[in-house]
Structure 1
Amino acid sequence: MVMGRVLVGICVAIGLNYSALAQSNEDEAAFFKGKSTRLIVGTGPGDGFDFYARLLSRHFYRHIPGQPSMTVQNMQGAGSLNALNFIQNVAPRDGTVLGLIIPVATTMPLLRPDVARFDPRTINWIGSVASDYFTCGVWTKDKVALKDLQAREFVMGSTSVGGSTSAGARIFADTLGLKFKLVPGYRSMNDLNFAAEKGEVAGHCGLMASSLKTTLWQAYESGRIKIVLRAGMVDDPALPNIPNAFDLAKTEEDRQLLLLLAGPWYYGRPVMAPPDVPPARLAALRKAFRETMEDPAFLADAKQLNAVVAPLSAEEIVKTVTDIYKIPETVIVRARPLFGVE
């Protein structure tokens, strides 16, 4: 009899929980039905982040309760800081405005607190479409190993002085003793790749793995590009034998410096919501994102476009952001000039 009452109690609790979830889903469907939602992308039209935002928007809305329409709005400027500041401080806090931003913007409160008016630890993360990581590539027919980068000078190109290609080259050089001569000022990654192809520079350290796989994979497989180094948070079966700077760093401070550089790219295409979104609505959006990442139509669309899909959960993003914000101030001070911050 006692066991029977226990089982009845468990069944009642499960039934009540299921009923509450169903009611919550109905409530969120009623809220979103007929509404127009916006996905703010923190870059201009046509680049990789805009590409992922538009791919996501074509499928994400179908998994949100009530199936609201979804449009992409570009809000470029300051490396996604404009978009991030808008989403955190101005956008409606009801779940109708989401954002997809360049992840390195989340380190700006550490490096440039004068221009970053937000705390990434308060962001309502939804998930990330793809994880990514830094690589160093050189354009040459000769064999090049890490020891060569440490033994002789290599002229490495970059975009702006404060851009990720400059920071990548400086931090790799600083932590691993590489002999890089940096030539900044290239307008875009395409210009930088073209300069390396022509021999103006040996290569650069801002080649993201996703870009390598989608736009330069033939050049890599043919041997025109040699990937000599990477800084990644996880292993990559597609590039199994590339030395990882995290494994090569000699001190914990060096690893923390690499985390500041590469950690944000672990959540490489992150989607976020403003603060104070109602908890049930936030849960519905996260569930819709997870379902989208497993949607056969979304995956087929991504495959046709040669887009890398390697999703991360909101919890994984939160853990990485928390680890980044545990980096000691002494490392942040060391990092600022390497990131081009005076």
Structure 2
Amino acid sequence: MTIETKTLTALTAALALTMTLGTTGAARADFTLEGEQVEVIVPYSPGGAADAYGRFISAQLGKHLPGNPTIIVRNVPGAGAIAGTNNFQQNADPDGLTLLVTSTSTLMNALLEDPRVKYDLSTMTPVVVNPLGMMVYAHESLGIEDVAGLAGLGEDAALRSGAHTPTSADLVQLIEFHILGLDVTPIFGLQRADAKQAFERGEISISYDNPLAYNTYVVPMVESGVAVPLYAMGFVDAKGERVRDPAFPDLPSFPEAAETVLGAAPSGPAYDAWQTMFFSRVMASKAVLLPEGTPDEIVAAYEAAAKAMAEDPEYIAATEKLTGGYPTLTGQEADDRWQAALKFDGEARDWLYGWLSEEFGVAR
């Protein structure tokens, strides 16, 4: 091939690439939701934390969508978020007019293979992912000053925690207690507000909360000496590295806490199960999804809107109050954290099912 031929070939390829990029850019620029109504499915009852998040994030995202569409939030509760999510999977058209809001329980239902689940979260595209951390604290009656004190607790130490059910989001902390070698008796049937009240009365001795609840309800107990902060679950930064929770930089992450208590870094199927649960509990705590099969140009338009929203000073100020100032994840980072929350190693899954059955009588 001559130099002239090579040059012509390169120019032709460059021109073709330019035309392709131009066409793609035009397609993205042409996509608009002007005059349209975007329905946001919230598979939870009105008034709860997931509903509040869904309404907030829908309004904020809507400000940046092309064409300024009307945003309608529709609650479709039932079966612990399964009913609404199933409905979304089966009926949402991939035309950019329907979104789904998820919370940790949406992921947990799928990870634990609830037979009622008919949805596949791995086929959906995350537009926005909002992390929310979790920290653990102990009652003064245990007589410890920090997480290292857990290693010195005798076998007779009465450890009780409050939990909703064995397969709710509380499962993550129950796994942590198991890995730490703690003999904790969970008192089921308690929501987090109930658990805080029971903790304050001394009826449970180890508890956990997100930073918003912690700052509002637990900090006064820390200041009065009733509660002792132990550790936070941790965080994964933009580089994919595991770091301390930005809301609790002075507290060790759970892997650090486990190494302190056990004398060695945690490993094995129980810890592998915890790692998947960590992503569903913290890194993908809340999310907004597009349905399976959504065209690239629509996904690109939503991702651009999400990025603009995440950089909006008004939004940033509002999230300080709603989520504690955790970064809003968009684009590739959102997708990476979302997919990590769905990866469940077979050995870890088998361990979890066996442990749930042995400890709490939960049948697979």
- TM-score under structure 1 length normalisation: 0.84
Matches within 5 A, 1:194-205: 194-205=197-208
The question of 1:270 aligning with 2:275 is answered no
Is 1:92–2:109 an aligned residue pair?
no
Match of 1:69 in 2: 70
Q: Which of 183, 189, 194 does residue 187 from structure 2 map onto?
A: 183
Task: Give the SS at the match of 1:78.
Answer: coil
Structure 2 counterpart of 1:289, which letter?
A
CA deviation map 1:165-200 (0-9, x unaligned): 3x23431221110121222222x3212212212222
2:248 matched residue in structure 1: 239
Quote how far apart the aligned CAs of 1:210 are.
4.5
Partner of 1:317: 337
What percent of counterpart residues are identical? 21
Structure 1 CA distance for aligned equivalents of residues 325 and 43 of structure 2: 19
Q: Structure 1 residues 211-220 or 67-76, which shifts more?
A: 211-220
Q: Which residue of 1 aligns with 2:19?
A: 16
1:289 aligns to 2:289 (yes or no)? no
Partners of 1:49 and 1:274 in 2: how far apart?
A: 19
Q: What is the correspondence of 1:133-212 to structure 2 with a 5 Å cutoff?
A: 133-140=133-140, 143-150=144-151, 151=153, 152-165=157-170, 167-186=171-190, 188-205=191-208, 207-212=209-214
Q: Distance in 2 between matches of 1:6 and 1:225?
A: 71
Q: Please tell me whether residue 260 in structure 1 is matched to residue 276 in structure 2.
A: yes
Query: Which 10-residue stretch deviates more, 251-260 or 133-142?
Result: 133-142
Residue by residue over 1:111-143, the C-alpha shift from the partner in whole angstroms, topping out at 9 and shown as x without a partner, is 234121122221222121x21233222343864
Mark the runs of 5 or more structure 2 residues left unpaired by the alignment. 237-243, 259-264
Deviates more, 1:49-58 or 1:16-25: 16-25
Cα distance in 1 between the residues matched to 2:127 and 2:42: 14
Local SS of the residue matching 1:63: coil
Would you say the 8 A contact 1:33–1:66 is kept in 2?
A: yes
- Give 1:229's aligned residue: 231
Contact kept, 8 Å, 1:111 with 1:341, in 2: the verdict is no
CA contact (8 A) 2:270 2:352 kept: no
Query: Deviations for 1:132-157, whole angstroms, at most 9, x for unmatched residues?
Result: 23322234386433344342232212
> Is the 1:132–1:210 Cα contact (8 Å) retained in structure 2?
no
Give the direction of change, closer, same or farther, for the CA distance of 1:200–1:293 in structure 2 (3 Å limit).
same
C-alpha distance 331-305 of structure 1, shift in aligned 2 (>3 A): closer
Structure 1 contact 286–314 (Cα < 8 Å) conserved? no
Residues 233 and 245, structure 2, Cα contact 8 Å, conserved in 1? no
Between the aligned partners of 1:14 and 1:219, the Cα distance in structure 2 is: 62
Residues 30-63 of structure 1 deviation map (CA, whole Å, 9 limit, x = unaligned): xx21111122223222222222222212221122
Stretch moving more, 95-104 or 328-337: 328-337
Q: Deviations over 1:265-319 (max 9, x none)?
A: 2111111111111221112112211211111222233346575342223322344
Tell me the secondary structure at the aligned position of residue 135 of structure 2: strand
Could you say if the C-alpha distance between residues 262 and 200 of structure 1 is closer, same or farther in structure 2, counting changes exceeding 3 Å?
A: same
Residue 314 of structure 2 aligns to which amino acid in structure 1?
A: A
2:350 to 306, 323, 330: 330
Bigger CA drift: 221-230 or 309-318? 221-230
RMSD of aligned Cα (Å): 3.1
Question: Normalised by the size of structure 2, how large is the TM-score?
Answer: 0.79
| Residue 343 of structure 2 corresponds to residue 341 of structure 1 | no
2:261 matched residue in structure 1: none
